Chains A and B, each alone.
Chain A
């Protein structure tokens, strides 16, 4: 039927309609040790084993990656994705419409917490034993018994004239002399996305931080239904604007997998080039923003200038400053000429020189050092427990990069060094970004070298009904997961993009602890989670 079955037939031992009661540990262990890298196993189990599996998975050191659900007629399909050593497995269960309940995995994997709440808000599936039964994505826009991702909910929704304010959310309270609450946001003084942070502080010391997100919920999952592949790729490119290439690529990879399309080598390399260019642009912006948050404006201006020059090359070579819609299903929309390649190479040489100069000034500045070192410490244990990815994980010793550990084209043709730091503080996240920029510059050079002649698009084939795909790509924030299932006539039935921010946001609550309130903004900037990607 699809890649799922293909995979499973290769490993006959795993085809089990029911989860075996005893030796699941062995199965997971076996799976992890000799699976081919470019496939993902889907394992359907009975709903009662849902939590049991998670416990075994945790014992086997699997990382919780993503969780999503979908409605199929009267039934609901719930999925959870796990990873170990770059091998992914999707756990799946069916629950029927009368009793929408499932044992929670959030008690085992804290990373699953918000994702399950999202599923609960969107589908009305109750997770039994969930440690936190508050709403998450659901604010006040829908009536109590409306679940927007169910099939009977209209795409246009039933919006009220004025959405009631989201009041009475039960934040964690603090008691005792001198403990006070600081509510921050969702409207901020700067031009950033909306999100609410609730601090409990004594004096300037942060006792607890709670995030309340969901203010930029756009209904991406709902409006994706029924789209054509081209239109879905455009939508995916807008899940989180700064990560447009990453999301678009993940979605296209998933759709191509479902349709069984092989993208040309040239298109893959161009995708690699734009993805790395996106990473560099964002890292430059982030490094500048970190400096700006501690009022080191000089560095911010320099980083911003470099980013601007970089973006202008994007515009002249790829037709869009932020590289939107360069990646399209079955290929890329823009070819690079010989002339463009020369321009890209010149750009790399220039940025390398200038960056080296700026980094010298930044590195020697003791006042900056004083602010960035030891602040916002995220221990490797917590980073692992929350499954953090990207520069947040890598700065806390999590040596994982999809590009290396679950390499997809064109990264399977090259080798590169994954940036790694182990101090876990803001400075580490700053330096990981710097290392990644250098690695990405080398990658782009290599990709340009490897660029063969050929077509940049392949003809699209209409995928069979119910064919599915899982795109796994490393965006600039880290691993992006994109799940797609096709309906009939080339239409999308389900699209779930998992932005890396979903795994990284909870880490912010932990790394802010024991810092002082005025250090929070720079802690937040060093993590730079996407609100839009989280809220969908």
Chain B
């Protein structure tokens, strides 16, 4: 039964990720006085890409062809670790948050290799930028997560969320710092404005898109899907760690239903916030990203310090 729900949860993750991307697009369109595409447009795009024959460069090695599958699988595995609608699932018990970060790093490693593989200037440029950014983003993210796990005395996300739930609504300065740090990192890691622009057509400004410029057909569909999944993962992390209320603690149908509705509501709100912030700011210069992520790291560190100074003694 537990495993069944774990599989159901992961399936939900994969199935709902394009919907989240669609909703985000709808929010942004409304904010920019545009007519939005249908909520289901990302699904249609994925379907369209899947039906198209991929075009692969003659110079590409096996790595280029396998990378989309590796990236997609690694991202799905990462999603099994994060509680979406219920805590105490066997998948999240067997792996903790460090494993999740590891899966992300694994996927990114192959994405960067695939970017380099074909030997175009843009792919290499994108890979190099992605690696620069992730080397700064990962410590910041771990710092934020460590703040949380020190609070709960565990790196297991399920247990940590249960811990937050038990404590009830307490305003902890460390959590506020960690939340903001995580949000900054999430924006950088998912390639959103102001760090990267997912909708740009300008090769020279791209980061994530530059690496996947050579992909087409089902390969591109998998990578697109994986990045939608990643966006959702970060959304769920922010939502469920810091605002876990509503998540199912038993596996009754009622609780699971409430859990599902709760997370959908939380993600909708988060998307609106992201949409507003993306409408308000322009993309920053590439060399500002280090300051931005340095700031995220600093917030994580402050979170940790305030935990030790203000909260740990109690």
Q: Knowing A182-B121, A305-B33, A370-B288 are in contact, say whether A291-B202 is a contact too (CB < 8 A).
A: no
Would A516 and B279 count as touching, CB distance under 8 A?
A: no
Flag if A519 contacts B285 (CB, 8 Å).
yes
Which segment of B10-18, B72-80, B105-113, B193-201 sits at the interface? B193-201
Min C-beta distance of B99 to chain A, whole Å: 33
With A183-B121, A184-B204, A297-B32 as given contacts, are A518 and B279 in contact (CB-CB < 8 Å)? no
Kindly identify which residue among A189, A298, A370, A519 contacts B32, using a CB–CB cutoff of 8 Å.
A298
Contact of B1 with A by CB under 8 A: no
Over the window 276-289 of chain B, the binary record of Cβ atoms lying under 8 Å from chain A Cβ atoms (1 yes, 0 no) is 00111111111110
Give residues 493-535 of A contacting B (CB, 8 Å): 516-521
B314 adjacent to chain A (CB < 8 Å): no
* In the assembled complex, B34 has its CB within 8 A of some CB on chain A: yes
A295 within 8 A of partner (CB): yes
Contact A301-B33, Cβ < 8 Å, known A184-B204, A204-B287, A293-B202: yes
Q: Are A295 and B194 in contact (CB under 8 A)?
A: yes
Give the distance in Å from the alpha carbon of A295 to the alpha carbon of B206 in the complex: 11
A49 CB within 8 Å of chain B: no
The answer on a CB contact under 8 Å between A181 and B200 is no
CB-contact partner of B197 in A180, A181, A295, A517, under 8 A: A295
Residue of B nearest to A372 (CB): B282
| Known contacts A181-B121, A296-B282; A367 and B204 CB within 8 A of each other | no
Determine if B205 is an interface residue (Cβ-Cβ < 8 Å). Answer: yes
Distance in angstroms from A473 CB to nearest chain B CB is 32
| B residues in contact with A298, CB < 8 Å | 31-32, 279-280
Flag if B286 contacts A516 (CB, 8 Å). Answer: yes
When the two chains form the complex, which single residue of A180, A301, A518 contacts B286, counting CB atoms closer than 8 Å? A518
Q: A295-B194, A302-B33, A517-B125 are in contact. Are A189 and B282 (CB under 8 A)?
A: no
User: How far is B13's CA from A79's CA once the two chains are assembled, in angstroms?
Assistant: 70
Count of inter-chain pairs, beta carbons less than 8 A: 83
List B contacts of A189 (CB < 8 A): 201-203, 213
B204 — which chain A residues lie within 8 A by C-beta?
Answer: 182, 184, 517-518, 520-521
Q: Among B34, B201, B204, which residue has the most Cβ atoms of chain A within 10 A?
A: B204
Question: CB within 8 Å of B: which of A367-391?
Answer: 367-368, 370-371, 375
Interface centre among A180, A183, A370 (most CB of B within 10 A): A370
Say if the beta carbon of A365 comes within 8 Å of chain B: yes
- Check: A294 CB closer than 8 A to any chain B CB: yes
Contacts of A204 in B (CB 8 A): 286-287
Is A352 close to B, CB under 8 A?
no
Indicate with 1 or 0, residue by residue over B7-43, a CB within 8 angstroms of chain A CB atoms: 0000000000000000000001001111000000000
Q: Does A23 contact B (CB under 8 A)?
A: no
| Alpha-carbon gap, A517 to B280, bound state (A) | 24
Q: Is A13 an interface residue (CB 8 A)?
A: no
Give which listed residue, B34, B122, B285, contacts A371 with CB less than 8 A.
B285
Does A516 lie within 8 Å of B282, measured CB to CB?
A: no
Does A188 lie at the interface of the complex (its beta carbon under 8 Å from any beta carbon of B)?
yes
Q: Shortest beta-carbon distance, B61 to chain A, in Å? A: 21
Contact present for B202 and A190 (CB under 8 Å): yes
- In the complex where A181-B121, A298-B31, A518-B286 touch, is A367 in contact with B281 (Cβ < 8 A)? yes
- A293 with B205: CB separation less than 8 A: yes
Contact flag A367-B284 (CB < 8 Å), given A188-B203, A298-B31, A521-B202: yes
Minimal Cβ-Cβ distance residue in B for A362: B282
A180 (CB) vs chain B CBs: closest residue: B121
> Does A294 contact B286, Cβ atoms closer than 8 Å?
no
How far apart are A138's CB and chain B's nearest CB, in angstroms? 26
The answer on a CB contact under 8 Å between B282 and A294 is yes
Q: How far does the alpha carbon of A516 sit from the alpha carbon of B204 in the complex, in Å?
A: 10
Give the distance in Å from the alpha carbon of A471 to the alpha carbon of B311 in the complex. 79
Nearest Cβ distance between residue B122 and chain A, in whole angstroms?
A: 8
Provide the bound-state CA to CA distance between A516 and B286, in Å: 8
Q: Pick the contact of B283: A190, A294, A365, A375 (CB < 8 A).
A: A294
Residues of A close to B279: CB separation below 8 A: 297-298
Residue numbers in B under 8 Å from A191 (CB-CB): 201
B125: chain A residues at CB < 8 Å are: 182, 517
Complexed CA–CA distance, A235 and B307 (Å): 73
Select from chain B the residue with minimum beta-carbon distance to A366. B281
Q: Assess the A368–B121 pair: CB atoms within 8 A.
A: no
**B201, A190: Cβ atoms under 8 Å?**
yes
* Chain B residue at smallest Cβ distance from A201: B125
Chain B positions within 8 Å of A291 at CB level: 282
- 18 CB-based A-B contacts, threshold 8 Å: A180-B121, A182-B204, A189-B202, A294-B283, A295-B197, A295-B282, A296-B281, A301-B34, A365-B281, A367-B282, A367-B283, A368-B282, A370-B284, A370-B288, A371-B282, A371-B285, A516-B285, A521-B205
Which 4 residue pairs spanning A and B have beta carbons closest together? A190-B201, A295-B283, A296-B282, A295-B197
A-B contacts besides A190-B201, A204-B287, 6 pairs, CB < 8 Å? A291-B282, A297-B278, A298-B279, A371-B282, A371-B284, A516-B287
